[in-house]
Structure 1
Amino acid sequence: MKRFKLFGVVTILSLMIAACGTNEEKNNGSSNEGNLVPVKAELSVPEKVDKGDTVVFETVVTQGDEKVEDASEVKYEVWMEGKKKDSKMIKSEQKVDGLYTAEYKFTNDGQYQVQVHVTAREMHTMPKATVAVGNVENGGHAHDEGDDHPHEEKGNEHSHEESSVLIHFMKPDDVKVAKETKLITHVTKNDTSLSKAQVRFEIWQDGSEKHEWVTTEEMKPGEYTGTYSFSEKGEYHVQVHVENDEGVHEHTMEMITVE
Structure 2
Amino acid sequence: MNYFVDTHAHIYHEDFKADRADMLQRCRDAKVDKIYMPNVDHESIDDMMELESRSEGMCHSMMGLHPCSVKRGFEKELYIVENWLAKRQFAAVGEIGTDLYWDKTLFDLQTEAFNIQVTWAKKYRLPIVIHCRESIDETLALIEKAKDDNLTGIFHCFSGNAEQAKRIISLGFLLGIGGVATFKNGGLDKVLPEISLDHLVLETDSPYLAPVPYRGKRNEPSYIPIVASRISEIKRVTTDEVRITTSKNATSLFNHV
TM-score, normalised with respect to structure 2: 0.26
TM-score, normalised with respect to structure 1: 0.26
> Rg bigger for which structure?
1
Which one has the bigger strand percentage? 1
